[in-house]
Amino acid sequence: MKKLLYILLLSPMFLISSCEEEEEAQSGYNCVSNTCSAVFENPQYLTLEDCQSACEEEELPAGYLCVSNNCIAVLENPLYTTLSDCQSACSNVSGCLDESACNYDENANIDDGSCEYALEGYDCEGNINVQLGDEVFGGIIFYLGATNEHGLIAASEDLGEFQWGCYYQKPPGISGGIGSGYENTLAIVDYGCVTTAGGATAAQATLDAEINGYNDWCLPSLAELEEMYQSIGNSVGGNVGGFSQTLYWSSNMVTSATGLDDLSGSKKSYHVDFSDGTTGYSNKTAGHKVRPIRSF
């Protein structure tokens, strides 16, 4: 009984001590939105009276602004008077929603029509971005250089059928490599070649052509024509260029005797058969298909 009485007498002391420890742990108060809240560290005010006095004088925010998808309280010039209005507006972000656009905004959820795209054949940084078979720069890419920055384009359609011209004549300055088609074309035209039928020569027809806004076309050299067949005439993807299964003129002519009927080697020029890719030569008076090319 004495022990029980002793415990009962001591219990209020423990409670008092416990309360005192709890009160001691509370270090002060902070004023948040004109309301004093007890805090246990980094208080703005040590006493409740000081906090309440300061809180009464604190200026209420006039409203809110949406900054980087966050609502910020401001004292003047608010866009939104309530926090809920601000949060609703902040969650709606206008921008470009198309992932293929250069200015795609992953944070946007409302399309504002601001999408910007790279120019045809280029990436968003302005670098050329193409591959064989792409339809860009006025036609179809059939040859690319080592860096893919330069190459050759074939027109998407045949120009028609033409004679080569210069029958029994040998215009100088003609070569057969990749990249020589344009110089060959100029050499043939500058030489003043004509046809037996009175129409334009194959070279003149390509030089006069304006296709898809480009006017720098030419008659391909033999090497360029062979490359065209291999890459877009008989490629893995099939006849990408839509070629006819027939003969196409190159800008290269035969320069040595081809037989008793052509001892001077001035009557014939080279063609490529697009039915099988074989190379041969025909009389310059023959009418063969012409597919113009240009470089980029």
pLDDT tens column, 71-84: 888 888 888 888 88
Determine, yes or no, domain membership for 130: no
- The pLDDT of residue 27 is 82
Please determine, for residue 135, whether its predicted confidence score (pLDDT) is greater than 60.
yes
Return d(Cα 162, Cα 155) in angstroms, integer.
16
Determine, yes or no, domain membership for 9: no
* pLDDT band for position 16 (cuts 50, 70, 90): very low
The letter for the amino acid at 86 is C
Same domain, 219 and 79: no
Same domain, 207 and 274: yes
Determine, yes or no, domain membership for 228: yes
Domain that holds residue 40: 25-87
Partnered with residue 36 across adjacent β-strands are: 31
Domain tally for the chain?
A: 2
Return d(Cα 193, Cα 291) in angstroms, integer.
19
- The pLDDT of residue 17 is 45
Please determine, for residue 269, whether its predicted confidence score (pLDDT) is greater than 90.
yes
Q: What is the pLDDT of residues 139-187, one digit of tens each?
A: 999 999 998 889 999 999 999 999 999 999 999 999 989 999 999 999 9
Determine, yes or no, domain membership for 103: no
Same domain, 152 and 280: yes
Determine, yes or no, domain membership for 110: no
Residue showing tokens 């320069």:
255
Same domain, 191 and 285: yes
Determine, yes or no, domain membership for 124: no
- The pLDDT of residue 25 is 62
- The pLDDT of residue 137 is 96
Same domain, 151 and 79: no
Same domain, 161 and 77: no
- The pLDDT of residue 33 is 67
Q: What's the angle, vertex CA 217, arms to CA 181 and CA 282, rounded to 5?
A: 50
Q: Work out the end-to-end distance of the chain between its first and last CA atoms, rounded to an integer number of angstroms.
A: 109
Same domain, 77 and 148: no
* pLDDT band for position 5 (cuts 50, 70, 90): very low
Of residues 255 and 210, more confidently modeled: 210
Q: Global pTM?
A: 0.66
In terms of Cβ atoms closer than 10 Å to its own Cβ (0-12, 13-18, 19+), residue 168 is exposed
Mean pLDDT of 13-20: 44
- The pLDDT of residue 46 is 86
Greatest mean pLDDT among 93-97, 265-269, 285-289? 285-289
Determine, yes or no, domain membership for 15: no
Burial 91-121 (b: 16+ CB within 10 A, else e): eebebbbeeebeeebeeeeeeeeebeeeeeb
% of the chain at pLDDT higher than 90: 57
- The pLDDT of residue 4 is 42
Same domain, 140 and 32: no
The three-state secondary structure class of 17 is helix
Same domain, 70 and 152: no
Mean pLDDT of 115-130: 92
- The pLDDT of residue 35 is 76
Determine, yes or no, domain membership for 157: yes
Q: Are 128 and 121 in contact (CB under 8 A)?
A: yes
